[in-house]
Structure 1
Amino acid sequence: MGETVRRTIFVRGAVQGVGFRWWTRARALELGLVGHARNTADGRVEVVAQGPAEAVDALEALLRESPTTTRRPGHVESVVVQAGVPRDGTTGFVER
């Protein structure tokens, strides 16, 4: 297994109220990631994903892909990624 990384991914577009957080949580769990997906007051969804670098890369790619390819709900206009420091004791992946 590769290096453990933590990234905060801000997704802008029509991503609130359409099942986007639920879909993201399902993909993250399939990839073995921990973290959360939550709505922000400015209309974005904040995704914090921690796990093997390859799995976090895969989730980021899914968030960027066309919804016709991934069957992802909503419409993504932009994705901004911030690297973070992995945290011990983080478990599960939740919608907030």
Structure 2
Amino acid sequence: MDLDTKRFIYILEQKMTTCMEKVLKVIYCSEQKQFDRIIQDALSDIKIMISLTQVYMLIDKESSKDLRQLQSKLIQGRIYIEKELTTLKVEIRRMVNTT
């Protein structure tokens, strides 16, 4: 794997880490307006990163294994965030309905 590919993977891993930190922070301590916006921003960022890895795999076929692993991590992160979003929306509805 060449230096540019390593750098690309590192940058996306750092961005994913930042997205996950923001999501976890908002899940545990924010109001709903912020919650929805931050979650949707993170999901949008992850979607873009997944697309970037797909394009990069077309350009750098030698590193496709490493890029597929990165893409898999991104997809797992997206699934986790979507699951948490669904769970929290259900909890919010329950709280609203019980008051």
TM-score, with normalisation over the residues of structure 2?
0.31
TM-score, with normalisation over the residues of structure 1?
0.32
Structure with more relative contact order (C-alpha pairs < 8 Å, separation 6 or more): 1
Q: Which has the higher helix share?
A: 2
